[in-house]
Amino acid sequence: MAGGQVSSMVCLTRTSLRQPSSEKQGIPLNQEDHRAQFFGHYRREAEGYDREFMKKHDEDLNTTLIFVSLAWYLGVHVLTWSQAGLFSAVTTAFIIDVQPALRPNSIDETAALLRILIYKVDNTTFGDDTPAIPQWTGAPHVFVQVQAILYASLAASLLSAFLAVLGKQWLNRYASTDMRGTAIERSQNRQCKLDGIITWYFDYVMESLPLMLQAALLLLSCALSRYLWEVNVTVALVVVGVTSSGVIFFIFIIGAGTASESCPYQTPGSLALRYLWPKAKRILHSATSAFGNASKKSKTIRTIKENVEYYDPWWSRDEIMPFLKDMVLEVPCAITIDVYHLGKAVVWQPTVTIYQLICAIVMSLVLNLHSMPSTLEQVLDPQPTALDLRCISWMLQISLDKGVHLSTLKHLTTMMPLANFDPALVVDCFNTFIGCININKHKAAIVKGLEELAEVSALCFLRAFHQLSAADPASTILGDIRKHHKKVLPIDTSIGGLPWYHTMGKVCRLTDLPLHHDTQWDDFRSGLSAQQQIKITQAVAEVAQVEYQRVQHQKVPRQILHFALCTLSLHPPALASVIANCLSIIAIDLGCDISNIGPTLVDR
């Protein structure tokens, strides 16, 4: 995080770091107190978030419904001309004009019968021409096309109206608060609903409604243009021109929205394109490189070259005939082989890539379906911890209040070790920690007033990182965090002299960054309370475990062993639990399985 951004948060934080009354009085909170405090903050944040969420989607749906109902009304009831609006007028005129062309024209039939009647009375009236009843051969092909497009447009708008109505119901269900249960249970219930909204891509469904309307509009424009082309080309050209301009403008805003996230003309299309563009680029790149490789390895070119070098036909007439003979015999085979290879390279590989992409999307959907609990009881009953973790993750992502972050992370510390947590929680903890650091002239410092948050977030991050590493060492989240860390805290950043030097050092180790200089742990005790010492050694022991597993069970990093040595060297000796953690570090390096050993010094 940029230094300025962090600084700007300081004022907010200073005013918002509210301590509970028991903490103010110096009484440490227990686990339940932290939980209750956290869910108090959660309710407040959730109310604000849900209000905004409901307002946004409700307004969108209302707009859609008004637009569609007008269109639907116009399309089905052939409304009166008194209704104003471009869309209604065009649709009305279009439908009225086209609809009769789809069935036999009764006026023509009447005229023909009259002609026959007159002919029966006086067969000289029409000269040699014998009138006959016209045979209905079906509606003109063009009008069928036009009408089909019209009805497609109508169906799309009707479908979007249907979804909009359903959307209103879904939103109402989300907004309805379960009046039973405690405040914590209601919060958990709400989090389940929110998780469902994310898992089932509710936002995307809502975003698709305007897309369907846009498609309906486009279809109407196309149908109008095609119809008018049959009636009058000049008039049709005007409509085609305006429609094309609209389409070009739309494509332009999609392009602009895709190219720049800050562009105000964002549409669902640009969001989709932004997601798909890197994949498309990869496919394009693989196709291009495959084409390049294929051309280099072209058997046709090689055959021609070899024949030219062998016969040298430009200098000797006698060699021309055998040269041509060989070319006729060999080149078609070479071309066939080249076409095969080219097809394999240019078509097969991108096809495989696209296939893999589709498989990945389908798999993620299937996995989501499987991972989602089917009933609310199933969610709430066995794993309240997992729900708490989801609430914590959401709070860290949504809230900008550092006081809320502190309360959230304190609750998280009481829940260690973590189980079944979303890997995104590691990122959230890391982002919070990074948010407490200000870097000025290659020197890192903890933002004033955020020392406690820095401590708690660093420890939470270390533990969550450790547990994720142990549970899923191949997780992409781990790699992303390492990359992010290198970006935020470059190697040349000095971290010496910080009150949280040790924690910073550990974070650096954990994120695979070499420290700026050899870490000295001599100041381990200075300025640290006994509780902090215990926390730090516990975190270092966890890091040792992670690192040991990361290097495939070979060794614990030198710096961490040095930390253990320095801590064990202290005089008077450190606290028993600190010593126990140091012994754990050494035991890990010696390859001992400490998972079944108790936490006390005696056990170690």
Partner 1 sequence: MAESENVDELCSKHKAITSLLPYAVWQDLSGQPEMLSTLLHAARASKMLWFRWHRIRQFASVLLSEATPHAIVLVSPHMPWNHLADRGDLVQQWAVATSMVPHTEEVAESVVNTLLQIASEKKLLPYIPADTWLWLTKQPSLPPVCLGRYSGTKSHVVEAARRLKDIEILKSYLLLIWSEWDILYSEGAMCTSIREDFSQVGMGHHRADLIERLDYVLGQLGQGLEYLNQHNLDINWNNLQIMEQQYGKLKEVLLEVNIEAITRLCNSTLHFYVY
Residue numbers at the binding site for partner 1 (CB under 8 A): 522, 555-556, 558, 561-562, 564-566, 568-569, 571, 573, 579, 582-583, 585-586, 589-592
Instruction: State the minimum distance, in angstroms, from the CB of residue 590 to partner 1.
Output: 5
CB closer to partner 1, 407 vs 519: 519
Instruction: State the minimum distance, in angstroms, from the CB of residue 571 to partner 1.
Output: 4
CB-based contacts of 191-196 (< 8 A; 24+ apart in sequence): 191/387, 191/390, 191/391, 191/394, 192/376, 192/379, 192/380, 192/387, 194/394, 195/390, 196/372
CB closer to partner 1, 513 vs 561: 561
Instruction: State the minimum distance, in angstroms, from the CB of residue 291 to partner 1.
Output: 51
* Structure tokens belonging to residue 344: 């394999």
Asked whether the CA dihedral 142, 148, 154, 156 is positive or negative, the reply is negative
Instruction: State the minimum distance, in angstroms, from the CB of residue 557 to partner 1.
Output: 10
CB closer to partner 1, 406 vs 566: 566
* Structure tokens belonging to residue 374: 């089917």
> What is the distance between the alpha carbons of residues 568 and 578, in angstroms, rounded to a whole number?
9
Query: With contact defined as beta carbons under 8 Å apart, do 140 and 101 qualify?
Result: yes
Q: Give the residue ranges of DSSP H helices in 78-140.
A: 86-98, 106-121
CB closer to partner 1, 266 vs 520: 520
With vertex at residue 456, the alpha carbon angle to CA 454 and CA 459, rounded to the nearest 5 degrees, is 100
Using alpha carbons, select from 501, 510, 392, 384 the residue that is nearest to residue 444. 501
CB closer to partner 1, 180 vs 571: 571
Alpha carbons within 13 A on the beta-carbon side of 532:
17
Query: With contact defined as beta carbons under 8 Å apart, do 581 and 500 qualify?
Result: no
Strand ranges inside 481-547, DSSP E: none
CB closer to partner 1, 222 vs 556: 556
CB closer to partner 1, 239 vs 583: 583
Which residues are within 8 A (CB) of 13 and not within 5 positions of it... i.e. 6 or more apart?
401, 402, 403, 449, 450, 453
> What is the distance between the alpha carbons of residues 317 and 323, in angstroms, rounded to a whole number?
10
Instruction: State the minimum distance, in angstroms, from the CB of residue 263 to partner 1.
Output: 55
CB closer to partner 1, 487 vs 571: 571
Bridge partners of 1, per DSSP, are: none
Instruction: State the minimum distance, in angstroms, from the CB of residue 598 to partner 1.
Output: 18
> What is the distance between the alpha carbons of residues 587 and 567, in angstroms, rounded to a whole number?
15
> What is the distance between the alpha carbons of residues 560 and 449, in angstroms, rounded to a whole number?
29
Instruction: State the minimum distance, in angstroms, from the CB of residue 518 to partner 1.
Output: 11
Using alpha carbons, select from 343, 399, 316 the residue that is nearest to residue 43. 399
CB closer to partner 1, 446 vs 560: 560
3-state helix, strand, coil in the chain (%, to 5): 75, 0, 25
Instruction: State the minimum distance, in angstroms, from the CB of residue 497 to partner 1.
Output: 20
CB closer to partner 1, 184 vs 566: 566
Instruction: State the minimum distance, in angstroms, from the CB of residue 561 to partner 1.
Output: 5
> What is the distance between the alpha carbons of residues 39 and 42, in angstroms, rounded to a whole number?
5
CB closer to partner 1, 477 vs 582: 582
Using alpha carbons, select from 155, 158, 211, 165 the residue that is nearest to residue 62. 165
CB closer to partner 1, 456 vs 583: 583
Query: With contact defined as beta carbons under 8 Å apart, do 543 and 512 qualify?
Result: no
Instruction: State the minimum distance, in angstroms, from the CB of residue 182 to partner 1.
Output: 48
> What is the distance between the alpha carbons of residues 358 and 352, in angstroms, rounded to a whole number?
10
Instruction: State the minimum distance, in angstroms, from the CB of residue 504 to partner 1.
Output: 21
With tokens 């948010």, the residue in question is 435
Instruction: State the minimum distance, in angstroms, from the CB of residue 550 to partner 1.
Output: 17
Using alpha carbons, select from 449, 551, 566, 549 the residue that is nearest to residue 505. 566
Instruction: State the minimum distance, in angstroms, from the CB of residue 564 to partner 1.
Output: 5
CB closer to partner 1, 220 vs 587: 587
